[in-house]
Amino acid sequence: MEQKLIGWIEQHLKEHRFADDAPDSDLPPNVVLGVGDDGAILAARNLPQVLVADSIVDQVHFDLNVHDVSDIGHKAIAVNLSDVAAMGAVPESALVSLVLPRSFTFDKAQRLFSGITATADRFGAQVIGGDTCSHDGPLVINVSLTGRIPCDSNSPHGWRMAGARSGDLIVVSGPLGGSILGRHLKFEPRLQLASSLQKRIEIHAATDISDSLSTDLSHIIRKSNVGAELDCMKIPVSDAAHELSISSGETPLQHALHDGEDFELLLTMSESSFATLHDDPGFDNTLKAIGRVVDDHVGSILNAATFEKIVPSGYEHG
């Protein structure tokens, strides 16, 4: 239902002149990028400003009966920080809203909020307000975060999903799959990597892998009106994906393709830009090229070795 609802919201807002593919004249003058990407971009003080928001819910994104509340707090803001990284921005200010179960103790609430602020502080974001309330339902945390595009960026208007070009390399920032074994709660948002890339090369399209590699790549190629071919042998598969495959009945590669909540960056860039990074001794290169953008079979992902279609599937947030 989630993807269906997102599609309806995009169409609904397009009709109300707030979508990112509406004519420029139909957008409010301060809206650079509207609904449909990892975040929105506003023009503030003549500089683009990024706005992102995410909610996480008990028994959907975490299990309050199992997971430590400080780790839950980390995740609540880290998913937003990951979106900011995927926009090529740096974080600034956060609003945090907590909807607490009535049975939630004050000590738990303190540890939850401390988990949020500790991660915010570590990545240069400041919690400036929000809201709290209690109800007879599950724990719900919503974070809204602002960011800015650095003045010295190679992409001064920020990164977005649309923009992939035929011939681009498809690149990921780290190993994929098996996050359900723990990494989904303790991942590191790729803000430092995003900042380093912004200073060195032009990124044509970007997102973070929250739903899955196959699903999030399908968003990029659909918005860019291109196709993709993956060299599946080059996809970095995590140790957790191998561990999970022992009991899941799926291969480690299937977990890397279709598991969600890896929160690695998924990028497209020119081959010459990728070579520039490879030759830069000051760049700590963990990037892996896993495929190529093509101008045929638009909207589809193919296995480059077999030319079989890879059907997107992944994590549905409810």
Instruction: Return the number of other C-beta atoms located less than 10 Å from residue 212's C-beta.
Output: 24
Q: Is 130 annotated as a binding residue?
A: yes
The answer to whether 315 is annotated as binding is yes
Q: How many CB atoms lie within 10 A of CB 75?
A: 26
90-101/140-148 β-pairing? antiparallel
3-state secondary structure of 114: helix
CB 268, CB 168: distance < 8 Å: yes
Quick one: which H or E segment has residue 115? helix 106-122
Give Cα 3 to chain centroid, integer Å. 15
Residues whose CB falls within 8 Å of the CB of residue 46, separated by 6 or more in sequence, listed in order: none
User: Is residue 168 part of an annotated ligand binding site?
Assistant: no
**CA gap 70, 54 in Å, rounded:** 17
121 labelled ligand-binding: no
DSSP letters of 63-105?
-TTTS-HHHHHHHHHHHHHHHHHHTT-EEEEEEEEEEEETT--
280 is in an annotated binding site: no
Please check if 93 is assigned to a binding site: no
54 annotated ligand-binding residue: yes
Annotated ligand binding at 114? The verdict is no
* Cβ contact 87:158 at 8 Å: yes
Is 259 assigned to a binding site? Answer: no
CB 301 within 8 A of CB 221: yes
Angle at alpha carbon of residue 309, lines to 304 and 311, rounded to 5°: 125
Answer for the pair 302, 197: CB distance below 8 angstroms, yes or no: no
Which residues define the annotated binding site for substrate? 61, 261, 315
Which residues define the annotated binding site for ATP? 130-131, 210
Which residues define the annotated binding site? 38, 54, 61, 83, 130-131, 208, 210-211, 261, 315
Which residues define the annotated binding site for Mg(2+)? 38, 54, 83, 131, 208, 211
